[in-house]
Amino acid sequence: MQITLSVNGETRGLDLDPRVTLLDALRDHLRLTGSKKGCDHGQCGACTVLMDGRRVNACLVLAAMAEGAEITTVEGLGSPEAPAALQAEFTACDGFQCGYCTPGQIMSATGMLGEAREGWPSHVSPSLAGPVSLSDGEIAERMSGNLCRCAAYPSIRQAIAKAAALPDETVAEAGE
Amino acid sequence: MRPFGYTRPAGLAEAGTAAAEGATLIAGGTNLLDLMKLQVAAPERLADIGHVPGLDGIEETETGLRIGALVTNSALAADPRIRKGWPVLSRAILAGASGQIRNRATTAGNLLQRTRCPYFQDPASACNKRVPGSGCPARGGVSRMTAILGTSENCIAAHPSDMAVAMVLLGAEAEIRAAAGTSRRLALPDLWRVPGDQPDEETTLQPGEIITAVHLPAPRGGAVQAYRKGARRNRDAGTGCLARP
ipTM of the complex: 0.95
Report chain A residues whose CB lies below 8 A from the CB of B5: 18
In this complex, the residue of B5, B33, B90 whose CB is nearest that of residue A62 is B33
Residue B44: beta bridge partners?
none
Q: What mean pLDDT do residues A162-175 have?
A: 70
Which pLDDT band, with edges at 50, 70 and 90, does A74 fall under?
Answer: very high
The model's pTM is 0.95
- Assign domain A2-76 to a CATH class: alpha beta
Q: What mean pLDDT do residues B22-33 have?
A: 98
Q: What mean pLDDT do residues B38-57 have?
A: 97
Report chain A residues whose CB lies below 8 A from the CB of B33: 21, 60-62
Distance CA B19, CA B25 (A): 7
Cβ contact (<8 Å) for B78 and A120? yes
Cβ contact (<8 Å) for A55 and B5? no
The strand ranges marked E within chain A are: 2-7, 10-15, 48-51, 54-57, 70-72
Give me the pLDDT at residue A168, please: 65
Give me the pLDDT at residue B144, please: 85
Distance CA B139, CA B152 (A): 10
Instruction: Flag whether pLDDT at A90 surpasses 50.
Output: yes
Whether B236 contacts B101, CB under 8 Å = no
Instruction: Flag whether pLDDT at A174 surpasses 60.
Output: no
B159-217 pLDDT tens trace? 999 999 999 999 999 999 999 999 999 999 999 999 999 999 999 999 999 999 999 99
Residue B105: beta bridge partners?
none
Whether A48 contacts A35, CB under 8 Å = yes
List the single range of A62-71, B59-68, B214-223 with lowest mean pLDDT.
B214-223
Which pLDDT band, with edges at 50, 70 and 90, does B106 fall under?
Answer: very high
Question: Where along chain A do its domains lie?
Answer: 2-76, 85-174
B129-147 pLDDT tens trace? 999 999 999 999 998 889 9
Question: Beta B45-48 vs B24-26: how paired, if at all?
Answer: parallel
Number of CB pairs < 8 Å for A and B? 104
Give me the pLDDT at residue B234, please: 61
Per CATH, the number for A85-174 is: 1.10.150.120
Work out the mean pLDDT of chain B and round it to a whole number.
Answer: 94
Give me the pLDDT at residue A29, please: 98
Residue type, A123: H
Question: Beta B210-217 vs A10-15: how paired, if at all?
Answer: unpaired
Phi, psi torsion values for B68, nearest 5 degrees: -60, 150
Q: Is the peptide bond before A154 cis (omega within 30 degrees of 0)?
A: no
